[in-house]
Structure 1
Amino acid sequence: MTNAWLPPEQYIETIARATSYACIYFTDIAGRPFQLRSHNKGEVWQWAGGNLERGETPWDGARRECLEETGINFQGVQRLLGVHFVPQREHWPANHIGFIFDGGELSDAQLARVRLTDEHTEWRVATVDEWRGSMTPVNFKRLEAIHTARETGTVAYLEGL
C-alpha cells in the first residue's frame, strides 16, 4: 500500500474536525471566581469568552469576547490556565477545544464597571465552595480545575468535562 500525498482540500476530509473557543478567568481581589450567567445556554454560569472567529487566535478571541460581553478591555499578560477538549457528540458534529486564560484579579471599581450584553443575565463573584451549589457537577469540576491551576501555577488539561 502506498501513502499518496493528498491535496489539502482532500486531506482535511480524512482528519478530525474541531471548533474552538477561548475565555478569560477572573477573580475578585479576595480570590473569588467571577462568572457570567448565560441567557442562551440554559442559564449556565461561564467565563467571559466564546467561539473563535475565522483566522482569530485563542488569545485575540478571548480578549474580543471579554470586551464584548463585559466591557473589560483586558490588557494583561498572556497566561494559559487550561485547555479543554470535548469530543464530538451526537448534537455537535466536531470536537470542541477551549483555551482558558488568566485574567488576574478585578478590583471593586472594575467590577462596578462591568456591562453585560443580552447574552448574559447577570454576573457574580463567589467562593469556589459557593459556586458548587450553583453549577452542574461537570461545569463545577471545570471551574475547580482552573481555579487550582491558577493557585498552583500549573496548566490544566481538561478532557470531556
Structure 2
Amino acid sequence: MTTAWLPPAEYIATIARATSYACLYFTDSTGRPVQLRSTYARSESWQWPGGNMDPGETPWQCAVRECLEETGMAFGGGPKLLGTHFIGHQGDAWPSNHIGFVFDGGVLTDEQIVAFVLDPVEHTEVGVHTVAEWEAIMTPGNFARLAVIDAARRAGTVAYLETP
C-alpha cells in the first residue's frame, strides 16, 4: 500500500496547531523572582517580561524583543532555556494549544530593576518578592509555573509543564 503525500497546506490542516509565547525569567541579587503587573491579563496580573511570538520570529527573538518593549532593557545575554510550557486547547476562551518558552534572564541588580521603563498601557509596576511571598499574591496555576521554573533554575535543569 502506498501513502499519498498531501501538499503542505492540506497536511497542516490535519494536525494540531498552536500559538506560542516566550519570556525571560529574572531574579534580583538575592534570588527573588522579578515580575511585571499586567493591565490586561484576565486571570493573572503578574507575569515575566514576554509575550506572543510574531510571524517569522523565533522564541528567543520574541523573548528579547518583548523584554525591550516591556522594560526598556536591551537584554544582552544568550539563550538558556529554563522551561517549556504547554497549555491545552481552552475552548472558545483560547481555541488553540499555546506553547511557551521560558528563558533564563539571569540576575538583575537593584539599579537595573529600578531603571525599567514600563509602558503604562501594558504594565503598572515591577514586583520583586520571594517565592513564598509570590505564592500569596498569584493565582495557584501561575504560581505553580513560577515555582517549577525557579526550581529548574536553582537546580540547573530544564522544566516541562503542562496545563490542561
Letter in 1 for 2:135: R
Q: Partners in 2 of 1:59 and 1:123 — Cα distance? A: 22
Give unpaired runs (5+ residues) of structure 1: none
* Residue 29, structure 1, aligned to residue 33, structure 2: no
Number of equivalences: 161
Q: Shift of the alpha carbon at 1:98? A: 0.2
The SS at the match of 2:13 is helix
Correspondence for 1:131: 134
Deviation of 1:2 after TM superposition, in Å, equals 4.7
Q: Considering only aligned residues, what root-mean-square deviation do their CA atoms show, in Å?
A: 1.1
Corresponding residue for 1:109?
A: 111
CA distance in 2, matches of 1:56, 1:77: 16
Report whether the alignment pairs 1:55 with 2:23: no
Identity of aligned residues (%): 61
Which structure 1 residue ranges, 4+ long, deviate > 4 Å from structure 2? Answer: none
Any idea what the Cα deviations from partners look like across 1:128-154, whole Å, max 9, x if unmatched? 000001000000000000000000000
What TM-score, normalized to structure 1? 0.97
- From 118, 122, 134, the equivalent of 2:125 is 122
AA of the residue aligned to 1:111: I
* 2:38 alignment partner in structure 1: 38
Rounded Cα–Cα distance in structure 1 between residues aligned with 2:162 and 2:127:
26
Q: TM-score, normalised on structure 2?
A: 0.95
Residues in 2 aligned to 1:141 and 1:64: alpha-carbon distance in whole angstroms: 25
